[in-house]
Amino acid sequence: MIILLGITLLLVTVTYFYMRQPQFGKAPRGKRLERLQKSPHYKDGKFQNIHFTPITTEGYSMAGVMYNFIFTKFPRTRPIDSIPSVKTDLKNLPITENVLVWFGHSSYFIQLDGKRFLIDPVFSGNASPIPNSNKSFKGTDIYSAEDMPEIDFLLITHDHYDHLDYQTVMKLKPKVRQIICGLGVGEHFEYWKFDTAKVIEMDWNESVVIGENFTLHTAPARHFSGRSFTRNNTLWLSFVLQTSDLKLYLGGDSGYDTHFAEIGEKFGGFDLALLDNGQYNVAWQAIHMLPNEGLKAAKDLHAKRLFPVHSSKFKLANHPWDEPLKTISELNEKEYHLPLVTPKIGEVVRLNDSTQVFTKWWERVN
């Protein structure tokens, strides 16, 4: 018993000091905490989804989920081959071109009406605070912070490690003019010594004018947050980029719920919707959509084109690595018939060209 207590104490001590490293960030405090506590979405000491959202589906347990993730081997969760990619020179893209370039998972660059956006960038090759514990797939790390041009707006949908990467944002610090994130997430950036004047923290259903005939809106998502053992102390959200000519929905991570139809009604549809499609499981269906739900969400949003993201770079679930794109494509061809945007990493997506066609590149990767 004494030995067991000693081992437990040692593990607790090591964990405590390890989690004081900067990549874990800081929990909101002071005036920032007072502000977020006034949000209508903050109740009982934490942020809440619109509807009750269990982390695990009824009939499943977190212990079982963790056991399967660590000890059970599932087939083809990582590709054998390198993921194909294209190296686009982002620094020399004509500023007049409206384009999107995806970096795998949920990281992408948007150039729209003369402004440059970077969304949830992860260029460290790891989706975890522990080095080399969740390494990216071969071929997916052809871009780095050094490849990025000056960024007008860094958008962060939530503070999970596969969306807010400490190493990446530190390298991007000199290039970023403004950061827009959910309530409370600014505490991480202040701790990392970013200029707080550059950080805008927003609640759901808020708007900020960022240029002539150009507005950024925030909208709900059905997910959760947290970088340590405390959950939901910062806000997760989705974004809407609206110009006089285009409306883009940047979904972040989300389970399926009524908010998609409400957003679609509010904004009158979208030219393009980027939606969570990958790292899903029936066991945590409330916080990540299954492929058929992603298609339903796109329909609810009245999206003209759907870009399924959150796949093809990190193993965060037990499904085959190519299942998300394969399944959503098959379901779409049978029922929905939406134009799917499925570029290779680095391939230029032309935002004004709704007829652009993409290959099923994953079919040629083992």
Q: Is 71 exposed, middle or buried (0-12, 13-18, 19+ CB in 10 A)?
A: exposed
- The residue whose two tokens read 């695990």 is 56
The single-letter DSSP state of residue 147 is G
Contacts for 168-171: CB closer than 8 Å, 24+ residues apart? 168/121, 168/122, 168/123, 168/124, 169/121, 171/123, 171/144, 171/145, 171/146
Q: Which amino acid is at 92?
A: N
Please return the burial class of 8, using the count of CB atoms within 10 Å of its CB with bins 0-12, 13-18 and 19+: exposed
- The DSSP letter of residue 309 is E
Is 16's pLDDT higher than 70? Answer: no
pLDDT digits (tens, 9 = 90+) for 231-268: 999 999 999 999 999 999 999 999 999 999 999 999 99
Lowest mean pLDDT among 68-77, 121-130, 351-360: 68-77
Question: What domains are defined for the chain?
Answer: 31-364 (3.60.15.10)
pLDDT at 13 > cutoff 60: no
Categorize the per-residue pLDDT at 70 as very low, low, confident or very high, splitting at 50, 70 and 90.
confident
Structure tokens at 197: 């004047």
Give the Cα separation of 272 and 351 in Å (integer). 8
Answer whether residue 12 shows pLDDT above 60.
Answer: no
Length of the chain: 366
Give the per-residue pLDDT at 349.
98
Residue 4 — pLDDT band, cuts 50, 70, 90?
low
Cα(361)–Cα(366) distance, integer angstroms: 11
User: What pLDDT shows up at residue 247?
Assistant: 98
Cβ atoms of residues 274 and 349 within 8 Å? no
Q: Could you count the other beta carbons within 10 Å of the beta carbon of residue 176?
A: 21
Q: How far apart are CA 347 and CA 214, in angstroms?
A: 25
CA distance 9 to 108: 42
Q: What is the pLDDT of residue 225?
A: 98
**Dihedral sign of CA atoms 261, 244, 306, 142 in order:** negative
Report which secondary-structure segment, H or E, holds 276.
strand 272-276
Residue given tokens 């340590």 in the structure block:
228
* Three-state secondary-structure class, residue 86: coil
- Taking CA 174 as the corner, what is the angle to CA 246 and CA 158, rounded to the nearest 5 degrees? 55
CB atoms near residue 56 (< 10 Å): 18
Other beta carbons within 10 Å of 3: 7
CA 356 vs. chain centroid, Å, equals 24
Average pLDDT score, the chain:
95
Global pTM reads: 0.96
8 Å CB contact between 108 and 309: yes
Does position 316 have pLDDT exceeding 80, yes or no?
Answer: yes
Please check the confidence at residue 5 and state whether its pLDDT lies above 90. Answer: no
**Residue 309 bridge partners (DSSP):** 276
- Where do we find the tokens 């939406």? 338
Residue 290: pLDDT band (50, 70, 90) is very high
Q: Which amino acid is at 352?
A: N
DSSP string for residues in 310-322: SBSS---SSS-TT
pLDDT at 15 over 70: no
CA 219/CA 89 separation, integer angstroms: 32
Q: Percentage of residues in the chain with pLDDT exceeding 70?
A: 95
Per the rule left: phi > 0, alpha: psi between -120 and 50, beta: everything else, 25 is left
How many other C-beta atoms can be found within 10 angstroms of the C-beta atom of residue 173? Answer: 16
